[in-house]
Amino acid sequence: MSEAPVIIIGGGLAGATAASELRERGYGGAVTLIAGEEHLPYERPPLSKDFLQGSSELPDFTVHDAQWYAKHDIDLLLGTRVEAIDRTAKRVTLDGGGTLDYAQLVLATGSRANPSGGIEGADLPGVRVLRTIDDARALREDLNEGTRLVIVGSGWIGMEAAASARQQGAEVTVISPSRIPLGNVLGEPFGNHLTRMHQEAGVQFELATHVGRIERGADQLVVHAGSWQTGADLVLLAIGASPHLEVAAASGIETDHGVVVDASLRSSDPDVLAVGDIAQAFNTTLRRQLRVEHWDNAIRQGKLAAATLTGADEQYDWLPYFFTDQFELGMEYVGDRQDGDADVVRGDMDEGEFIMFWLREGRITAAMNVNIWDVNDTLRSLVGQRIDPERLQDTSIELGQLAAGQ
């Protein structure tokens, strides 16, 4: 095992996990974790959920406290960014002008919120994004009973923020070019179900609608979408995120929609790995390159990077997993649903407790449990199997029997 210095660029969950796992695996060399934010590495899912609702604080979802990094001899550089990577000299240049040498480099630079989407007025005061703890804290401070919040976008962040803000008493309107929220991710049946749930909780929707501009009125923001307009106290732009690829690309490492890496997370330079949001990694189960922006993937790839760095023979072979909590709905998803896959519902969606399967050419590609718990591992085992849709729908057949082929 090499004991030469490892530098990890990026202080999110993937980078922090890689550092932790290196020490767990007995790596004795120098480890430096460079974090762009001033905060200790933390998890991001609570930002649009518990934290925005006021039911958790930053220490609750901070990966480790400062003492942990000191105890494990991890040099943590907060509020520091890497300006350049010299792969020939194996050296990184920091924004303050200093340099650090490495033997192995892990890129974990994450993603940034898309700031404008071409919307005029996106830089006005009161127009926000939600990506960092500072973003979330500022938004939470301004969310009060009766606050008029317009959310542009109906993806995961937009829908989770809508639920959280509504639970805080805000008046929430979601404007989206999509016809069905999350329909492109999970299909029409679930997208419609989620929309109805939000509407019943008081969230307003303007769908299949593009926001053209935002203006500052005398005492409010005015959001213009075609011939329709509405006033707002706050506007949240939840229009997706883009991976931080600039430093990697400038160094000559192969990039596409992310940093292109193999199943062990090594890039076109074998001394440089990539993890988390930026890693466009070869998945050995799905047999294709995949870039996944979710909490579970950040943890797993952080651990895999440490395995690779310490000489273990492990690969990126797991199926994508994600979860969400919105109002009374909690769900877990596992698999690789794509457009055109057939929807199969097990249970009664109107009752709020059900399981969804997606099939392609008769084979299960993905599954999701909604308000039914402790079954996701079983669902994971069903992905890839051929099971008759009628059997999947038959609740008299236990999931375990389906998994056992009974």
Instruction: With a cut of 90, say whether residue 218 has pLDDT above it.
Output: no
Domain boundaries, the chain: 6-110+244-310, 127-237, 328-401
Mean pLDDT of 96-109: 96
User: Looking at 20-29, 30-39, 279-288, 394-403, which range is the least confident one?
Assistant: 394-403
Instruction: With a cut of 50, say whether residue 125 has pLDDT above it.
Output: yes
Q: Would you tell me which CATH number, out of the four given (3.40.190.10, 3.30.390.30, 3.20.80.10, 3.40.50.300), belongs to the domain 328-401? A: 3.30.390.30
Return the pLDDT at 276: 97
Asked if the domains at 6-110+244-310 and 127-237 fall in one CATH topology, the answer is: yes
Mean pLDDT of 376-392: 95
Instruction: With a cut of 70, say whether residue 2 has pLDDT above it.
Output: no
Q: What is the pTM of this model?
A: 0.94
* Contact of 234 with 253, CB cutoff 8 Å: no
Return the pLDDT at 226: 84
What topology is assigned to 6-110+244-310 in CATH? FAD/NAD(P)-binding domain (3.50.50)
Mean pLDDT of 383-398: 95
d(CA 212, CA 234): 16
Q: Tell me which of 136 and 404 has the higher pLDDT.
A: 136
Domain 127-237, CATH: 3.50.50.60
Instruction: With a cut of 80, say whether residue 405 has pLDDT above it.
Output: no
Return the pLDDT at 96: 87
Mean pLDDT of 278-287: 97
Mean pLDDT of 168-174: 97
Return the pLDDT at 406: 60
The band of 86, judged by pLDDT with boundaries at 50, 70 and 90, is: very high
Return the pLDDT at 217: 86
Q: What average pLDDT does the chain have?
A: 95
SS3 assignment for the chain? CCCCCEEEECCCHHHHHHHHHHHHCCCCCCEEEECCCCCCCECCHHHHCHHHHCCCCHHHHECCCHHHHHHCCEEEECCCCEEEEECCCCEEEECCCCEEECCEEEECCCEEECCCCCCECCCCCCEECCCCHHHHHHHHHHCCCCCEEEEECCCHHHHHHHHHHHHCCCEEEEECCCCCCCHHHHCHHHHHHHHHHHHHCCCEEECCCCCCEEEECCCCEEEEECCEEEEECEEEECCCEEECCHHHHHCCCCECCCEEECCCCECCCCCEEECHHHEEEEECCCCEEECCCCHHHHHHHHHHHHHHHCCCCCCCCCCCEEEEEECCEEEEEEECCCCCCEEEEEEEHHHCEEEEEEEECCEEEEEEEECCCCCHHHHHHHCCCECCHHHHHCCCCCHHHHHCCC
Instruction: With a cut of 50, say whether residue 1 has pLDDT above it.
Output: no
The model's pLDDT over 321-375, given as tens digits with 9 standing for 90+, comes to: 999 999 999 999 999 999 999 999 999 999 999 999 999 999 999 999 999 999 9
